[in-house]
Amino acid sequence: MRNITIAIDGYSSTGKSTLAKLVAKRLGYVYVDSGAMYRAVTYYAMQNSFIENSKVKVRELIDHLPEIQISFKYNADLGFAEVYLNSINIEKQIRTLEVSSYVSQVSVIPEVRRQLVVQQQEMGKNKAVVMDGRDIGTVVFPKAELKVFLNASPETRAKRRYYELIEKGDNVSFQEVFRNVQERDYIDSNRKDSPLRKAKDAIEIDNSDLTKEQTFQKTMELVTMTLEGYE
């Protein structure tokens, strides 16, 4: 069977990574969480005091970009690849609301995007990859054979993220999480460089009223149709 590239883009907390992991597992493809890379750069900025008074020190961060090495290592117990920053596993550290609150500021920086996009394209050069993010179908892999664009209402997405954080033991309020979801939607959609857009040839799935399993089934139908188209 021919290998394809699958791009899964969409708003935050639409279940992109859950879906991408399931699809990659079913097909035996590599899964790449591009958001984890932007989160890793944000975490690096926080650790190195390049964020002060809630503002990212853009020049300093750009100057230190060559020091940032991001890699993924497969964890067989978890069934997916965890993200490493300069050889240190930071999978847990990048999922906090604090990182979420700065990551959109970091991901507007064109120099950061350029560096990460090159790395993402390299990771997908042999196809057989499922990558999720905001600009995968528009910028990273504009020729991906299948592009899925996930959407859901802001309330539904904030609820999902809120329960996820609470389950992990984070002390957050629903209002905080809801505000963060709205802020990120705004910044991600309005930035100059590679804003969040549905690619013209992407297929939109609104999963406000769908379960994870239903979203997965719908996507697998699209995968089958795409693969049949190449037979």
Residues of this chain that interact with ligand DC (CB under 6 A) are 12, 34-35, 38-39, 103-104, 107, 133-136, 184, 188
Min. distance of Cβ 67 from ligand DC in angstroms? 20
Min. distance of Cβ 38 from ligand DC in angstroms? 4
Query: 145 or 188: whose CB is closer to ligand DC?
Result: 188
Query: 74 or 186: whose CB is closer to ligand DC?
Result: 186
At CB < 8 A and 24+ separation, what contacts does 71-76 make? 72/32, 72/33, 72/36, 72/123
Query: 166 or 227: whose CB is closer to ligand DC?
Result: 166
Min. distance of Cβ 209 from ligand DC in angstroms? 22
Min. distance of Cβ 122 from ligand DC in angstroms? 15
CA-CA distance, 162 to 168, in Å (whole number)?
10
Residue 151: phi, psi to the nearest 5? -140, 160
Query: 95 or 227: whose CB is closer to ligand DC?
Result: 95
Tokens representing 218 are 């719908």
Closest CA to 40 of 111, 131, 110, 116: 116
Min. distance of Cβ 45 from ligand DC in angstroms? 13
CA-CA distance, 132 to 44, in Å (whole number)?
21
Query: 6 or 228: whose CB is closer to ligand DC?
Result: 6
Q: Give the position of tokens 């795409």.
A: 226
